[in-house]
Structure 1
């Protein structure tokens, strides 16, 4: 009787060498197989990373702009008529404990702004003409892109400051130009940057409070902007309506502009589960591709399997060989996907000027999922290879 050689225990290094042999022999096939996993991991890391970066950027904007700004606007009466804010509302609000600043704008009715007097007066371009207090920019933490904001001197003359959107719609990018408002020529003394907490100012043409009276402005503010200390925001909010209109506080609308940014950040977080699901679907598709390739690999390498079995390799060693190959293939694809996803996050954060906030848990979960899917994809091909007897494998060549 011929004695078969005893099975030799494979060391980890030997197992890795044997397992990677199939990948080195077919590099293009391995690359295409790993690509599916890389796409899935990149989708998970990239999509969740973009959401995380966006949230970090919004939080940074909120911290810079502050959450202590409240706006007051007239509501409607019980009979459905639009209310008005009292002319002394600003002074009353400024006396509330904790208030650090109050400013206002007032809509100038029937006034439109046009690039020249040849344009029909009914063409508004969605731009509102508003009287503005000289301290408005400070209250809103806004910045002037060109020129200067209204002051006590320019506010008495036909001077106008354009919001960012208004300037774009009128084709004006710097101060010094002229526009036609209410049948008069106004000099553009300033152009504003976008004001995140007051988008209505972006679509406005701001003129001096005192000069606006000559265009039919009645002196009633249509929006108050109030700043207070962070600790006093809620207490100020609670008494603001009664202070502005003691007789009918229910006719006063109070809002906190920063809540919109906070809600946007919360919405980005809510989408994370959807992004993870999309990435997981792509990962599963990549896993199916790896399983298919491994089954084909087993069929193509039956001679190798039979030879190794006849030389003493156990079923367990054959199983580990193909499992190692499948997991390695998936792990390499996962690593490539992580790199691609992080590059997407880095590029997006740099383009927006936002801090790079990496989704650490998602990166770890994506890498582990890639390895797990690689193991699952390799179980059936590995078991199929291990079930082959030496005579079956060699007889099929």
Structure 2
């Protein structure tokens, strides 16, 4: 009679999956609470990355639309601490336009001590924070602006008592094209309302009058207080280096040059620190979820000692017991990760839609989140799986 060697039955992938699912189905509430911690962590991380990416995409689209080639030139403090109001030379626009790469240049002038009111019955001191500015004809194009209602100045209307209102100014005054407002002690006809300006936000709270009309009716001396300049993208740095001496060769120290688009990128950079903080909170939530999975699996091993002993006595190997409990841990964490990734993507979509941003959830964020859940499941389930496999069958069967 020949010797017959016995070999333990092998568990196929379907068998491993089946025994893992059965272990979870018998403890649904505990599984739900454990998976919830993983889901919260993954949802937070995916949402933070998705919202940050969507915000950055919106910024890039905004910069592409507005351009990063605009520089503003303003008069700083008077030289030697003089008392006069900061002003630029009258010839500033003409001088800047002679710089080779410059293709647009425009100017505004703040008219101090000039008020705008809805009608003559409103006291002059109740100005509502609205500035009156003189604007030249090229301003709208230089700031990439548009008209919400009415029209911009022409060479004809700029010489007459007409006014174009910023977006916020029109709301505050309750005025629309065709109506009259009082600027100083004179009546001006509203001919247009501008759209909100993202690179020149102070114009939203201004009332703009034509350059010539300001000189004739409001005592304007012709000195601009700010220039808007656009040049080729590759020449912005070189133009910026020569602007101060070009605008005021005799006192370049009194001229300040800035790039409005830098404020938008700085805002995005500032939000990056908050993104890092939220990612850290998501990682903490994920760690807590991993601890919850490990706790669930340890309790599961303690509660199922008789089941483990029975399977061992029927021929299950230690390796098969390890695989069973490790599969349960992976399924538990994977379930939480999948739900979390879905919730994170939905949160990104909802927030981006409300903000009017494009919705972008990087594939690497979803993949990384699911990969993290697999790692968490492996780590959290390894110790309980090893402990379960080491239980002697007789001791496990005798436990109550």
Q: TM-score range by the shorter chain?
A: over 0.9
Larger mean Cα displacement after TM superposition, 321-330 or 21-30? 21-30
Kept after mapping to 1: 8 A contact 2:161/2:189: yes
2:347 equivalent to 1:344: yes
Please state how far the C-alpha of 1:4 moved relative to its aligned partner: 12
Taking a change above 3 Å as real, the CA distance of residues 247 and 7 of structure 1, as seen in their structure-2 partners, is same
2:237 equivalent to 1:234: yes
2:19 equivalent to 1:27: no
2:339 equivalent to 1:332: no
Please state how far the C-alpha of 1:66 moved relative to its aligned partner: 0.8
Please name the residue that 2:211 is paired with. Answer: 209
Aligned residue for 2:81, secondary structure, equals coil
Please name the residue that 1:185 is paired with. Answer: 187
TM-score by length of 1: 0.93
2:8 equivalent to 1:10: no
Taking a change above 3 Å as real, the CA distance of residues 299 and 145 of structure 1, as seen in their structure-2 partners, is same
Task: Kindly report which structure 2 residues correspond to 1:29-178, keeping only aligned pairs within 5 A, or say none.
Answer: 29-81=30-82, 82-172=85-175, 174-178=176-180
Please state how far the C-alpha of 1:37 moved relative to its aligned partner: 0.8
Please state how far the C-alpha of 1:136 moved relative to its aligned partner: 0.7
Unaligned runs of 5+ residues in structure 1 are none
Distance in 1 of aligned mates of 2:6 and 2:332: 32
Residues 114-163 of structure 1, C-alpha deviation per residue, up to 9 Å, x if partnerless?
Answer: 23333322222221100111221011110111111122222222221111
Please state how far the C-alpha of 1:107 moved relative to its aligned partner: 0.9
2:281 to 278, 283, 286: 278
Please name the residue that 2:308 is paired with. Answer: 305
Kept after mapping to 2: 8 A contact 1:52/1:269: no
Please name the residue that 2:200 is paired with. Answer: 198
2:394 equivalent to 1:391: yes
Residues 73-130 of structure 1, C-alpha deviation per residue, up to 9 Å, x if partnerless?
Answer: 1011342234321111111111111111111111111111223333322222221100
Taking a change above 3 Å as real, the CA distance of residues 114 and 102 of structure 1, as seen in their structure-2 partners, is same
2:363 equivalent to 1:369: no
Residues 169-227 of structure 1, C-alpha deviation per residue, up to 9 Å, x if partnerless?
Answer: 3344x423332221233222211111111111111111111111212222110111111
Aligned residue for 1:29, secondary structure, equals helix
Taking a change above 3 Å as real, the CA distance of residues 392 and 119 of structure 1, as seen in their structure-2 partners, is farther
Larger mean Cα displacement after TM superposition, 63-72 or 358-367? 358-367
Distance in 2 of aligned mates of 1:233 and 1:182: 39
CA RMSD, aligned part only? 2.0
Kept after mapping to 2: 8 A contact 1:4/1:312: no
2:382 equivalent to 1:379: yes
Larger mean Cα displacement after TM superposition, 245-254 or 297-306? 297-306
Taking a change above 3 Å as real, the CA distance of residues 115 and 5 of structure 1, as seen in their structure-2 partners, is farther
Please state how far the C-alpha of 1:5 moved relative to its aligned partner: 7.2
Aligned length: 394
Aligned residue for 2:104, secondary structure, equals strand
Taking a change above 3 Å as real, the CA distance of residues 294 and 4 of structure 1, as seen in their structure-2 partners, is farther
Distance in 1 of aligned mates of 2:172 and 2:323: 68
Please state how far the C-alpha of 1:270 moved relative to its aligned partner: 4.5
TM-score by length of 2: 0.92
